[in-house]
Chains A and B, each alone.
Chain A
Amino acid sequence: MDSRKVGLGILGFLALAVWSVYFYTKPKLYNYQKTLIVYSYPSFLNAWGPGPILVKEFEAQCDCKINLVQVEDSTLILQKLLREREKRVDLVLGLDQLHLPQAEEKLSWQPLSELVELLPDREVPAHHFFLPLDWAPLTFIYRKSELKNPPRSIDDLLKPEYKSTIALQDPRTSTPGLQFLSWISLVKKENAATFLKQLKHNIHSISPSWSTAYGLFKKKQAKLAYSYLTSPVYHWVEEKDSDYQPIVFKESLAVQYEWMAIPEGSSNVPLAKEFIKFLLSDSAQKIVMEKNYMFPAQERIMAQTPFAQLPLVKTFSLQDYATLKMKELLDLWSQVQ
């Protein structure tokens, strides 16, 4: 091999690398008075998610620039905020309630009391520092053609007829998995470990993520998947398939809220509050509901939509969740293993 060719090749590659570093690192200029830096999670920011449309609409109204920063999930959002206290972040979208105690304890937030009145529906809780963007209870989803007699109570899940049918998520790697553990813990209290040990026989698989568990269910490998009560709406609307149904348990269900909050160090609090107001408006909430497949924080807009066909269920309150300790939940999971 000609050594000059190799040398030239290496030089060419280095030149390309240097160019790409320069191209991507050239400073981006923002007008800080008119820019909002928002941390959010991937499914909000996806091209088919609500983020891009909402940002476009808000930017047209406010003559400002929304700079969306994707952070993998609620855990990482908190970690990023904790590690980068000096860094400017104006708004956070997508904290879940399992992380609220930690967020409140370790970080400082701007009070949002004056915005609470924007949420007149008493079903949806509001917090002094955190306001919900959307929410959904969590339950098992099934196909009615496949499961003629779905479970109706948490104890029904132990029945032999559901042997190896349940697709779950691992609570150490997945938020719905942690929600399942919270649910069992809230319902069964000190008997949670015994219940989980008995449930083992009926578990088909424990996946590292919601998408894998739901994928196994969708591929008909499992008959029940732990997911959002609102998940069937995707199948009804996008796939025109009404076979998918949520199970209504007689016990209260776990619930997931996606919260919005303004870090205390935000350099544009008025604009951040304007954006929250916009996100809680009826038009924005409709977009959130239709793109995220979650209940909107403004429940009135669900009327005349497929979401209104979903069953009414009881859910645990934030006070109930406040009694849970994440460490204890994961210890419970270890015990079962």
Chain B
Amino acid sequence: MSIKSLIRFLIALLLLSPFLVLVSELNSWNHIPYAQFLHILSFTILQASLSSFSILLFGFLGALGLVHFYNWKKLETLLLLPSLVPTLFVLVACLKFFNPFPFGLTGIVIVQTALYTGLCAVSLKSLLLTKVGTWSELALVEGATRLAFLKVVLSYLKKDLALLLLFFFSLTFSSLSVPLIAGGFTGQTLELFIYEKIRIDQDFSQAFALSLFQSLFLLAICWKLSRFHTSLNTKPFQPRLLGLWWGLIPVLTITVIILWGQLLDLPRGFQDLKQLHSVVSFSSALLHSVFISLGAGFFMIFLLALTCYALPHPHFRPFLLSYLAPSTAFLGVAWLSLDLPEFLSPLVAIILGLCVLTLPLIYRLQVDGTFYALLPQMEVAQSLGASPSEIYWKIILPQVWPALCFGAALMAFWASGDFAFSSLMAPSTFSLSLLIKSLADSYRIEAASSLAWLNLILGLSVWIFFRRLGYVFGYRPH
């Protein structure tokens, strides 16, 4: 077995490990209640489709706004904040803005849009900057109208947009808390069904079958998307034709409303935190959060770099593009049954688990497009006699490095705010996000809200750190 094959095997094994662990423990197989399952599946698909379309629409507008102000780098980080704020605070902001709030399908779409539009705008801006740079310069000189240029850009980026849509479809498809809370009585999703099977029925065979179906379902709809290649353009960008200042209004409004609600809690929250200071070690929680976010970011770079080394491959790529990691509860139960948190320490277990949960998602967000855009260069280098090692170190890695760091930034950003998986692996005050959850669980909502600011600062710091890392060590055209 070659090193590349071994790496492919190990990455696939790591990603599939939760399924393998649980299947090895199953003693009997029970049938899924099909009528209920089909009803739940149709609602899950509907809410994920509508949410992802809405996110993409407002995200695209936001991206045009970011392009207009493309020198204001801090705007980008500001828009990411809603995806790091605990869902409760996003929901409260939505409830205040939309009064009465339309609980149900519309409510789910609104909250998911509020959560992820900023992230979508930032990802799309990055895509626009790297892929249509030279054209914008040329189109401006040739006198193209904004509308005509936008049409061409949309047509050129349609596969990238489809991948991005898929990314947000995967995120919203596997969301547990938002459909529950914003969906009212209708909020029944496949993820919740799996959770119910694991936590209440303790029927791991049905949970296994449902999770497998969830992954295979996404695999089926993604298969076609895994067969396109795009080109990469890193020349200077001319924003005048694409920039649209008002595109930022919706996404900025969402961000401001959410953060404003958080700001109001600060004075009361600080009082509570001061009282707790004698019994809670905030510095230790902060330190663990720093370790978790940096560790997850670096480990993600490592995994993505290994993945790129093992590519291109006709089956491995479709697998990465279409595989949906199982739910947090599913992975948690699988790892708890292996006693991983005790064997590996909570810190390592959290980092490893979060990377397993997000590697395919992050890969398909930016790394895949960037990597496959390099195929012509790889072919030329190979025909000129370059060794695989030279191609990897001199051509692939320098050019995919910014994409790897973007993925790492995203991973680190999410890891700093994770509590769903962390709460299964670590004590309740282990990290900042767990501390926030624990405070909210014990009446101290304002203290949790205030501490969320510290978490936001941490999330943004690691985001900026990995983005800078991508810029500093990345390839720049001369």
Binding site for B on A (CB under 8 A): 1, 3, 5-6, 10, 13-14, 16-17, 20-21, 23-25, 42-43, 45-49, 52, 70, 72, 75-76, 79-80, 83-84, 164, 170, 172-173, 200, 203, 205-212, 214-216, 218-219, 221, 231, 234-235, 238, 293, 326-327, 330, 334, 336-337
Please tell me if the beta carbons of B181 and A208 are within 8 angstroms of each other in the complex.
yes
A23 to B200, CA, bound (A): 36
Please tell me if the beta carbons of B443 and A208 are within 8 angstroms of each other in the complex.
no
Give the distance to chain B from A230, nearest Cβ to Cβ, in Å. Answer: 11
Contacts of B188 in A (CB 8 A): 337
Please tell me if the beta carbons of A216 and B91 are within 8 angstroms of each other in the complex.
yes
Contacts of B393 in A (CB 8 A): 3, 6
Give the distance to chain A from B112, nearest Cβ to Cβ, in Å. Answer: 15
Is residue B336 contacting chain A, with contact meaning CB distance below 8 A? Answer: yes
Please tell me if the beta carbons of A72 and B423 are within 8 angstroms of each other in the complex.
yes
A218 to B347, CA, bound (A): 33
Size class of the contact patch on chain B: 35 or more
Please tell me if the beta carbons of A207 and B180 are within 8 angstroms of each other in the complex.
yes
Give the distance to chain B from A83, nearest Cβ to Cβ, in Å. Answer: 6
From B180, B473, B475, residue with most partner A Cβ within 10 Å: B180
Contacts of B95 in A (CB 8 A): 216, 221
The contact string, 1 if C-beta is below 8 Å from chain A, for chain B 444-465, is 0100000000000000000000
Please tell me if the beta carbons of A49 and B442 are within 8 angstroms of each other in the complex.
yes
Please tell me if the beta carbons of B473 and A6 are within 8 angstroms of each other in the complex.
yes
Question: Which of A5, A24, A83, A327 interacts with B337 by CB under 8 Å?
Answer: A83
Please tell me if the beta carbons of B445 and A80 are within 8 angstroms of each other in the complex.
no
Residue of A nearest to B429 (CB): A47
Please tell me if the beta carbons of A326 and B394 are within 8 angstroms of each other in the complex.
no
Is residue B106 contacting chain A, with contact meaning CB distance below 8 A? Answer: no
Please tell me if the beta carbons of A200 and B185 are within 8 angstroms of each other in the complex.
yes
The residues in B between 118 and 161 inclusive whose CB is less than 8 angstroms from any CB of A are none
User: What would 19 more interface pairs be, CB under 8 Å, given A83-B337, A173-B199, A200-B185?
Assistant: A3-B394, A24-B348, A42-B427, A42-B428, A43-B438, A46-B442, A47-B276, A48-B442, A49-B442, A75-B200, A76-B336, A83-B336, A173-B195, A207-B181, A212-B87, A216-B92, A218-B445, A234-B443, A334-B36
Residue of B nearest to A102 (CB): B202
Give the distance to chain B from A238, nearest Cβ to Cβ, in Å. Answer: 7
- Cβ contacts A to B, 9 pairs, < 8 Å: A24-B344, A42-B438, A172-B192, A173-B192, A203-B184, A207-B180, A214-B443, A214-B445, A216-B92
Is residue B281 contacting chain A, with contact meaning CB distance below 8 A? Answer: yes
Give the distance to chain A from B235, nearest Cβ to Cβ, in Å. Answer: 19
Give the distance to chain B from A25, nearest Cβ to Cβ, in Å. Answer: 6
Please tell me if the beta carbons of A48 and B441 are within 8 angstroms of each other in the complex.
no
A234 to B447, CA, bound (A): 14
Please tell me if the beta carbons of A330 and B445 are within 8 angstroms of each other in the complex.
no
Give the distance to chain B from A236, nearest Cβ to Cβ, in Å. Answer: 12
Give the distance to chain B from A254, nearest Cβ to Cβ, in Å. Answer: 18
A293 to B444, CA, bound (A): 13
A173 to B189, CA, bound (A): 13
Question: Which of B195, B333, B428, B475 interacts with A70 by CB under 8 Å?
Answer: B428
The interface stretch among B250-258, B297-305, B373-381 is B297-305
Please tell me if the beta carbons of A25 and B305 are within 8 angstroms of each other in the complex.
no
Question: Which of A21, A209, A212 interacts with B348 by CB under 8 Å?
Answer: A21
Residue of A nearest to B199 (CB): A75
A18 to B471, CA, bound (A): 28
Please tell me if the beta carbons of B200 and A46 are within 8 angstroms of each other in the complex.
no
Please tell me if the beta carbons of A21 and B441 are within 8 angstroms of each other in the complex.
no
Closest 4 CB pairs of A and B: A24-B345, A42-B428, A3-B393, A1-B398
The residues in B between 250 and 309 inclusive whose CB is less than 8 angstroms from any CB of A are 272, 276, 279-281, 291, 295, 298-299, 301-302, 305
Please tell me if the beta carbons of A46 and B429 are within 8 angstroms of each other in the complex.
yes
Please tell me if the beta carbons of B428 and A46 are within 8 angstroms of each other in the complex.
yes
Give the distance to chain A from B188, nearest Cβ to Cβ, in Å. Answer: 6
With contacts A20-B345, A212-B88 taken as known, whether A42 is within 8 angstroms of B441 at the C-beta atoms is: yes
Contacts of B429 in A (CB 8 A): 46-47
Is residue B77 contacting chain A, with contact meaning CB distance below 8 A? Answer: no
Give the distance to chain B from A335, nearest Cβ to Cβ, in Å. Answer: 11
Contacts of A14 in B (CB 8 A): 302
